Structure formats: C-alpha cells, structure tokens
C-alpha cells in the first residue's frame, strides 16, 4: 500500500521523540562508562570495586537539571548555595584512598548533592553523612531515598563536630577543606581507620590519615582545590 509523503511526515514526527527519549538512558550510560575509562582508569585508579561503583551510580541524577548534559564532564559542577559536586576523578581517588570494605561504617562530611554518599554506599555497610546547609542536606536526603540508597543516613549539622553518637568510624571522607584537621574527626576515627581530607586555604593538600595504636600518621595524596569547610556558627 502506498503512503503519501504527508502521512510519512506525521509518522516521523510521532515516532522520533519516542526514539530520542529511549536513547537518553543509553546515552547517559555510554557517557558514564566513557567517563570511567577516560577520566578515572587512565589516571591510575585500580580498585575494581571503586570502578564498578563509579560505573553504577548515575551521576546525572545528582546534578541540577540545567547541568545534566554536563554530568559526566571532567570537572566539578555547581550545585547551588556556593557548593559543587566534585570532579569524578577526585570522587574515585578519595574513595579508593580510604580502602573501603563491605563491613565499614563511614562518616562523610559535606553531603552536597549526595553523589559521594551514593558511591560509598555501594562499597560499605553504612554511610553517615553530615551537611551544614539545610536545603542541600534535605534535597540530598530525599534524592538518596528516592533512588534507593537505603544505607545512607543524612543529618543537618556542623561537620567539625562529627557524629559522636555513631563513632567510631572505620573511615571518614571530608569533601570540603578545613584550614587544619578537625580534632573531633580524628578522635572519632576507629583504630585502624582511614580519613581522607583536603586541608588548607589557598594551597590545599589532600591528606590520608591513618590511626594505629592510638597514633595518627599522615601522607599527602595530591594537591587539590575544594570549597572551604564551614563552621556551624558562621
């Protein structure tokens, strides 16, 4: 049966958006896999578990709608309130640095949009995350629950104080830069625990702290640039 050009045009108009919508998910997955290979594997991240978490967690769910098309770019993105979601490589580097184990209880300082929390949740028993900015923390809590990250607990509070009632923690991840290492966080680190934290004001260093026999050792991982860590009374 012959079909007129006008009818073909109508069919194309109807069908093309459906194909485009179906391809969005495929496109995001492809970009996420490319992100891991090009930005993370090539820079030396080797942990199979961390790489799998980075491939699994949908980063585009954790950025503002206007930024979705840039979700897998090689860099940080603004998420509002003067805060950012970290560069994918930095998320992977910090995660690998703490050597997460399935039974670990992890404290995160600076929930942001919840992306780092989501990555950690795929690797450990439970993530306790503190966000000082209520709008960000509340949005992250809702987002993580909606996406099924049931082993993440978010509270609004001062990260400098940590979460003493849930301490000690097997690992601590700090996603904002204090000028010096907060004593409360060191105290809440378990024996054998690991903490990764960017420290400094203008010149920042990403440090790994490990606690053994009550003593803390530190090593420099990289030079970095993070937003400042804010006190609760500021």
- DSSP assignment of the chain, as one string? ----HHHHHHHHHHHHHHHHHHHHHHHHHHHHHHHIIIIIGGGT---HHHHHHHHHS-GGGGS-GGGGGGTTSSS-EEEETTEEEPPHHHHHHHHHHT---TT-EEEEE--TTSHHHHHHHTTSSEEEEEESSHHHHHHHHHHHHHTT-TTEEEEES-GGG--GGG--EEEEEE-SB-SS--HHHHHTEEEEEEEEEEE-SSSEEEEEEEEETTEEEEEEEEEE--PBPPPTT-
pLDDT, tens digit, 9 for 90 and up, residues 120-145: 999 999 999 999 999 999 999 999 99
Is 86 considered catalytic here?
A: yes
pTM, 2 dp: 0.88
**Domain coordinates in residue numbering, the chain:** 25-224
Q: For residue 9, what pLDDT is reported? A: 34
Out of 4, 86, 219, 222, the active site residue is 86
Q: For residue 24, what pLDDT is reported? A: 63
CATH of 25-224, one of 3.40.50.200, 3.40.50.300, 3.40.50.740, 3.40.50.150: 3.40.50.150
Low-confidence ranges of the chain (pLDDT < 50): 1-23
pLDDT, tens digit, 9 for 90 and up, residues 200-220: 998 999 999 999 998 999 999
């Amino acid at each position: 049966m012959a079909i007129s050009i006008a009818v073909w045009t109508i069919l194309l108009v109807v069908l093309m958006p459906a194909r485009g919508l179906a391809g969005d998910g495929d496109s995001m997955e492809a970009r996420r896999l490319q992100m891991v290979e090009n930005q993370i594997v090539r820079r030396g991240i080797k942990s199979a578990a961390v790489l799998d978490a980075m491939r699994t967690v949908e980063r585009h769910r954790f950025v503002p709608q206007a930024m979705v098309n840039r979700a897998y770019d090689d860099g940080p993105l603004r998420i509002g309130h003067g805060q950012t979601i970290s560069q994918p490589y930095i998320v992977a580097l910090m995660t690998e640095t703490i050597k997460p184990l399935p039974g670990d209880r992890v404290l995160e300082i600076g929930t942001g949009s919840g992306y780092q929390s989501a990555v950690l949740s795929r690797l450990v028993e439970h993530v306790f995350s503190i966000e000082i900015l209520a709008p960000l923390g509340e949005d992250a809590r809702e987002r993580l629950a909606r996406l099924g990250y049931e082993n993440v607990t978010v509270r609004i509070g001062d990260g400098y104080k940590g979460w003493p009632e849930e301490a000690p923690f097997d690992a601590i991840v700090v996603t904002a830069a204090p000028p010096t290492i907060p004593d409360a966080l060191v105290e809440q680190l378990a024996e054998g625990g690991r903490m990764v934290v960017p420290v400094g004001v203008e010149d920042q260093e990403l440090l790994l702290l490990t606690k053994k026999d009550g003593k803390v050792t530190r090593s420099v991982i990289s030079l970095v640039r993070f937003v400042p860590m804010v006190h609760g009374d500021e």
